[in-house]
Chains A and B, each alone.
Chain A
């Protein structure tokens, strides 16, 4: 009822949308929430039943019981992906509707006043514009595919309903994040996705290590949230409002270009983005987050949640345009992260860890893009990355699923995620193999896959920012190096997993199998998107010279033009203060040349890498030894960053906390409290001496009191 009421309120609050009338935006948001409620109830029911079974002495079954799948297992299968499908269709309708109109001002749908305190009024309002719609497309579209994949992947898990409840809740919060029309709304989503991330990383909370990984993610994210909150406080102090539209319109007048306030806000926002998007130095939680179920890694820790930082910078593009130092910091953080994470990925053996570091690295690319003012390019890479990284994770999930089954069948205690235990899986899982190669070529940047267009556009923009400072030449070189490393470690992953001879073991080999249809279909769809996803933003010059003759791909620079209303004011500021981008890369050469060079280099690295890794002799994990020394050992141990943090941040903090606990809390505070208690008891004991219960005493004391009163009155 409430939901319908909200929707009608939204419809009643029609405001001029320049011909764009969004269809039920509230429902898009509400659907995943309803899914969460329904699945949550089912999860509670199944949890109670499971507890009853355990109490009755039955062991928790691994797989279907003889009585068939209970309702708590079969209903989430339809509810979870179902609400996502409806939400996606609604988003698609809105998207298509927006394609036809020129929308310069965002459409705001205000439902009710969330809080009105003094001078601050915050509406529960949704904002629909080009940026939020493209994010919604990614979230609901990729989200739907991953929900479908999860049906197959999580089928045998006892927490099936709970899993879908969390996943739906995540989508709800993610949509709140991208659809909110003001900073507090966005912050609700921001914290909500953090919560869901925590819940899903620690989904198998019986495992201490996994529960700890969830806590780590949550705590590291708090550091970033502090920055975001500070930025919000400063924005409110300066603007008196927290609405996007009002702030971004007033920003050029209120904030001086490059001034202290603008820089501080931008840096605090960056801190928030760093935390959420796992950038240096707060990236450490993301690789550990791989403890969660693999589809969760695909959805939350690759495609959507971790891109919230990029979304934040793109959304607040005006603020970053006004703070050149902040923007440069964004780009630098991105470049350092990209290169740093890529080096670590070179020497990891856990298939998900490689992908995790790859994600960190690719997020670094997006940060570079939004840092140099190429917001459309950043969002473009966000989108294509969502396609191919989700595909890679889901493919890895299919591999792990298969490996887990095989190892489980013979009760072999090998690690199902270690690539050294795989090899030659191509024969057993052809669909997975093929689709993952598509994704690999896409992330490596080979023409005409999606990654080529998005990543090379970023490298191009970083390079052509060179007139703004020598820093960008360095960043450009780092970006190119990262791109080459990316191509290499991804090839290494593919070769170790799918090629060469199988190392799983004789007994296990027959149990290796291709994933079920519910898993392979999403893989196929994502593979198609990983190819065509890049064609939405082919640079005009390339289209002219390469495709010109064929009349293919009419959508040149489509995404740039699509995003223009959102980034126009930021671009105007940049054009005025910094100047235009250079026409050529720092060492010369235009679009076409660099496009050809990039794809050639990427292809070369893939081929050389395949030969290099293929010729290496790989032994199963239990027979291999960790690298002894040198760079390999350094990379294998992830530059010892975790150890560094542990030594210099975590342990001093623990020590300080222990001090606070033992001395300040237990001795000082508890001591004070206890002392107050003891003194009170002493007074009470002393007072109780007078309470003998004997009339004699009382009469005596009353008389004394009367004497005293009389004495006071007289003297």
Chain B
């Protein structure tokens, strides 16, 4: 079951990546990033069966960080939306000096 789980993880990860690349809605891009994180979580859990409980501990930390990230990220999206009245990332070019 290990190999299947890892392949599933890879597939989910790639779908998440594709989502980040082809969507324009900032919230959905964010959602796809969460999907990538979950794909990685799946790998950790699958491997923890063989390697030890530490894999699950790590997943626990990842979830915590994801929660923090979601809070801050959504706050940023709200902030940006207030200014631009849109969440379409094609309309922003803030990330440069």
Contact = CB atoms under 8 A, between A and B. Distances in A.
Q: Do chains A and B touch in the complex (CB under 8 A)?
A: yes
Interface of A: 691-696, 698-700, 703
Interface stretch (B54-62, B64-72, B89-97): B89-97
Contacts, number: 31
Contacts of A695: 26, 29, 89, 92, 95
Nearest to B96: A693
A706 to B, nearest CB: 9
A1 to B, nearest CB: 55
B17 A698 contact: no
A89 to B, nearest CB: 73
Given A693-B95, A696-B89, 19 more contacts: A691-B96, A691-B97, A692-B93, A693-B92, A693-B93, A693-B94, A693-B96, A694-B89, A694-B90, A694-B93, A694-B95, A695-B26, A695-B89, A695-B95, A696-B90, A698-B95, A699-B20, A699-B21, A700-B21
A285 B57 CA distance: 90
Nearest to B17: A703
9 contacts: A692-B96, A693-B96, A694-B90, A694-B93, A695-B26, A695-B29, A696-B90, A699-B21, A700-B21
Interface string B8-35: 0000000001001100101001000000
Interface residues of B, number: 14
Residue among A691, A696, A700, A703 with max Cβ neighbours from chain B (10 Å):
A696
Nearest to B97: A691
A388 B92 CA distance: 90
Interface of B: 17, 20-21, 24, 26, 29, 89-90, 92-97
Contacts of B17: 703
Contacts of A699: 20-21, 29
A695 B96 CA distance: 10
Contacts of B94: 693
Nearest to A706: B17
Contacts of A692: 93, 96
Nearest to B33: A699
A692 B21 CA distance: 16
Contacts of B89: 694-696
A691 B97 CA distance: 8
Given A694-B89, A695-B89, A696-B89, A703 B21 contact: yes
Nearest to A699: B20
A698 B29 CA distance: 13
Nearest to A700: B21
B21 A694 contact: no
